[in-house]
Structure 1
Amino acid sequence: MQRRYLSLAAAATATTMTLTLTGCGGGSGDGDVTLKLIAADYGDSEANSSQHYWDQLARAFEKKNPGIKVDVEVDSWTNVDKHVEDLVKEGKAPDLAQIGAYADYAAKGKLYSADQLLSIPVQADFTPSLAEAGEYHRVQYGMPFGASTRRLFYNKKLFAQAGITSPPKTWDDIAHDAALLKAHGVKMPYALPLGPEETQAETLMWMLSGGGSYTDTIGKYQINSPENIKTFNWLKDDLVGKGLTGSDPAKLNREDAFAGFADGDVGMLNGHPTLMKQAEAKGIDYGTVDLPGVKGPAKATMGVADWMMAFKQNGHRAEAGKFLDFVYSDKNVEKFSGDYGLLPVTTSASQTMMADDHYAKLHSFLKQLAGAEFYPADKTSWPLVSKTVKARMGAAVGPNGNPAGVLTDIQNTADTEDNSGE
């Protein structure tokens, strides 16, 4: 999603909320209610599963609100979106879902809007760029829950061994440094994960670094723009074609690239905050910098947010709103972000984190959040476009790849889906 700044729109929304929020989120309705929440798991083991976080939070909420029970089911990211989708199709929608996409449910009229749920101070506290990324047709249905931005990570030890004295700032620097790393025996000088796991993310990061994006300033797809074609031609010819990635990008997943960096086999790659813990656990001395661009740092970095949403089916608007006000309190937002190495989604929690030296390594990621660009998740066509990008972009930069042809095919797919679905 393109960046737009919403100070005026936010003021207008606040005025609208004042008129529509009377009684919203207050009280627990008549009698006892049990809210069903299905949430994604951010942990990497049973010991730090998100189930522990939600169970603790739900019990604390129930003590303060004896008329409302909260039943939380945590599922893996591999399954959770499909699990919710299946329940909705069966007519068994949960009251709340914390998953990866909201737009399709919003388009079908299945969700409460944020201003029907949250108190005015809570909704107004969302980081503006994240609040906007949660809009469908300029109404917020997706409430951000967990965010991150991307930076270039580099291995300081490998750089020093190759005689590289400063991290890259431009594409030419990346190619130059990768060549030196390759000459010094580094297995993957630049890890380029365009495998099926998260190709859509690596693709957007490179689009941004080349001055492009998935969409233009009014939200229309520009996948085969001249800037994007130039970017992927450069990757094909100047990075992959010269053997500077050390592996076939189409077969390299982000998880494996991160593991390679933590093992000391990768010189540099694009990463998010959780890579810091992974690298530190293996004793890797690393640094991070803004994503390099054609002539200097990229115009923006990629931002990612996951989404909380509330379904209308069970009619528990007031109870769900009361619980969400509790979920988004500063204390709970800060705890979740700290536990899982993510960025807070509210302005107040972000300010607290920026003022705390304990989170110093997250500060550079957090500073980027306000100007980050997000997936066009407000478009119901995005799931198909994302799936197509995952299937096609890796081969596009391979020996027999045709970036312009692949980008144009994806553009045609996006346009067709847009025209049929919106």
Structure 2
Amino acid sequence: MIAVVSALGMTAVLGGCGLDGESADVTLRLVAADYGDSAANSSEKYWSALVEKYEADHPGVRVEVSVHSWNDVDREVKEMVEAGRAPDMAQIGAYADYADDGLLYTADDLLSIPVQAGFASRLASAGQVNGVQYGMPFAASTRLLFYNKSLFEEAGLTPPATWEELADAAGALKAEGVEYPYALPLGSEEAQAETMQWLLSGGGGYTDAVGTYGIDSTENVETFTWLRDKLVGQGLTGPVAPGGLDRADAFAAFAEGEVGMLNGHPSLMKMAADKGVKFGMVPMPGLNGESKATMGVADWMLAFKQNGHREEVGEFLDFVYSDKNVLDLSRRYDLLPVTNAASEAMGRSGEDREIKPFLDELPLAEFYPVGKTSWAAVSAEVKKRIGTAVRQGGSPTTILGRLQTTATTAESAAAG
């Protein structure tokens, strides 16, 4: 059953423990994000079918799911929690603040040993705070460099493997009249993703090997200096300044045949194919060769302790994370599975050959530092400021330094 859960809708125990010792009926409430792009493939349909199967085998448990757009779902959950009426489960983009406030069950509290052990190791680690897993990975994606095959053929190009080759290819595409030789979306929608992809390809990242913020590292400054001077400064990123270009607009332009190259995730495949664009995909070029790391993104399932339904939530999540259900979700929405068994099944299947290049990148993927409560503030500042680092006269040293200050201040506040 799919039901809208209002901020006033407390999770309730529908029955009491009888004298015969039978367990009470329980209603579990889940708030989830929508992976669909239309009513026809809304996540409501996925959850409705899954819940129907679960309830058929668990007559004492009722599951109500409220599905919201990604623009709203994190706020909806935050408002419910602040009102003292947390859902039993939430499938959203972050978990660290709730874990830090002591509101969540751990994965150990909920999942059977086989299910918890079945998560891909990098994803399980990304769900930890101080070595304890609170965030259960629900879906994942990685990034590849997409290129327009037709435009490349017309310009006599092969896919780039280094930054220099990428810049040379962009120059050749510009000479052919391509509107966006390389689309660099550093606008407010998802600038933190494009930024991280480039930082990793330059040997840096948001954090160092031990998890300490190092946004203004030498490697990161050199990366953004190269972007400013060799791509943006040469007019190779198109008519819209990177700071004003959102990912959605860059994807739409690629699907219209206006973009030579850009970083993309699996959903771009269908967008481009639907418009008849012939495209190829290669790993992100690095400074001196193929990047040794790629950016991964994960969405999270978390379970709140407020309503006390630990056993019922755990049993439901064990069902959610069965191989069949993980594969169904991944195939339906062009996502990467979060369990080893489902990943192996997808890797072997001819049905999934188009998404396999993204799957192959997952073992190399680095994720946002979502285990830090400071990350939300840092991400917001990246979206706000990073575009100015590559504009004419922009200073990567200054901008990355300001972002490092934001990170340090937020970390200190979290520790206090």
Give a deviation string over 1:242-268, Cα, whole Å, max 9, x none. 100012101100001001111000000
Q: Of residues 176, 190, 207 in structure 2, which corresponds to 1:215?
A: 207
Q: Of residues 337, 340, 344 in structure 2, which corresponds to 1:347?
A: 340
Provide the C-alpha distance between the structure 1 equivalents of 2:326 and 2:288, rounded to a whole number of angstroms.
38
Equivalence for 1:413: 406
* Structure 2 segments unaligned to the other structure (5+ residues): 1-20
Task: Give the Å deviation of 1:400.
Answer: 2.6
Question: Contact 1:29–1:318 at 8 Å: present in 2 too?
Answer: no
Q: Of residues 34, 37, 40 in structure 1, which corresponds to 2:30?
A: 37
Output aligned runs, 1:32-111, within 5 Å. 32-111=25-104
Task: Give the Å deviation of 1:395.
Answer: 1.3
Identity of aligned residues (%): 59
Name which structure has the greater RCO, CA cutoff 8 Å, separation 6+: 1
> Secondary structure of 1:333's partner?
helix
Provide the C-alpha distance between the structure 1 equivalents of 2:269 and 2:315, rounded to a whole number of angstroms.
35
> Secondary structure of 1:352's partner?
helix
Give a deviation string over 1:58-84, Cα, whole Å, max 9, x none. 111000100000000000000000110
Output aligned runs, 1:176-191, within 5 Å. 176-191=168-183
Q: Give every structure 1 segment of 4 or more consecutive aligned residues whose post-TM-superposition deviation is greater than 6 Å.
A: none
Equivalence for 1:372: 365
Provide the C-alpha distance between the structure 2 equivalents of 1:413 and 1:304, rounded to a whole number of angstroms.
22
Equivalence for 2:113: 120
- In the alignment, structure 1 residue 174 sits paired with structure 2 residue 132: no
> Secondary structure of 2:355's partner?
helix
Question: Contact 2:192–2:379 at 8 Å: present in 1 too?
Answer: yes
Residue type of the alignment partner of 2:167: A
Residue type of the alignment partner of 2:386: M
Provide the C-alpha distance between the structure 2 equivalents of 1:239 and 1:400, rounded to a whole number of angstroms.
14
Q: Of residues 307, 310, 316 in structure 2, which corresponds to 1:317?
A: 310
- In the alignment, structure 1 residue 224 sits paired with structure 2 residue 216: yes
Equivalence for 1:17: none
Equivalence for 2:151: 158
Equivalence for 1:301: 294
Equivalence for 1:262: 255
Provide the C-alpha distance between the structure 1 equivalents of 2:22 and 2:293, rounded to a whole number of angstroms.
45
Distance 1:238 1:29, change over 3 A: farther
Task: Give the Å deviation of 1:370.
Answer: 1.5
Task: Give the Å deviation of 1:311.
Answer: 0.2
Question: Contact 2:179–2:258 at 8 Å: present in 1 too?
Answer: yes
Task: Give the Å deviation of 1:173.
Answer: 0.6
* Structure 1 segments unaligned to the other structure (5+ residues): 1-27
> Secondary structure of 1:39's partner?
strand
Provide the C-alpha distance between the structure 2 equivalents of 1:189 and 1:74, rounded to a whole number of angstroms.
38
Residue type of the alignment partner of 1:226: T
Give a deviation string over 1:204-257, Cα, whole Å, max 9, x none. 000001000000111000000000000000000110001000121011000010
Provide the C-alpha distance between the structure 1 equivalents of 2:171 and 2:117, rounded to a whole number of angstroms.
48
Give a deviation string over 1:347-390, Cα, whole Å, max 9, x none. 00000000101111111111111221000000000000000000
> Secondary structure of 1:377's partner?
coil
Question: Contact 2:292–2:364 at 8 Å: present in 1 too?
Answer: no
Task: Give the Å deviation of 1:105.
Answer: 0.3
Give the count of matched residue pairs.
394
> Secondary structure of 2:216's partner?
coil
- In the alignment, structure 1 residue 238 sits paired with structure 2 residue 210: no
> Secondary structure of 1:379's partner?
coil
Provide the C-alpha distance between the structure 2 equivalents of 1:47 and 1:243, rounded to a whole number of angstroms.
41
Provide the C-alpha distance between the structure 1 equivalents of 2:40 and 2:351, rounded to a whole number of angstroms.
23
Equivalence for 1:14: none
- Cα RMSD of the aligned pairs, angstroms, is 0.9
Question: Contact 1:133–1:374 at 8 Å: present in 2 too?
Answer: yes
Question: Contact 1:29–1:319 at 8 Å: present in 2 too?
Answer: no
Equivalence for 1:334: 327
- In the alignment, structure 1 residue 283 sits paired with structure 2 residue 289: no
Question: Contact 1:214–1:222 at 8 Å: present in 2 too?
Answer: yes
Task: Give the Å deviation of 1:29.
Answer: 8.2
> Secondary structure of 1:189's partner?
strand
Task: Give the Å deviation of 1:85.
Answer: 0.5
TM-score scaled to structure 1, two decimals? 0.93
> Secondary structure of 1:157's partner?
helix
Q: Of residues 156, 179, 187 in structure 2, which corresponds to 1:195?
A: 187
Provide the C-alpha distance between the structure 1 equivalents of 2:211 and 2:36, rounded to a whole number of angstroms.
34
> Secondary structure of 1:37's partner?
strand
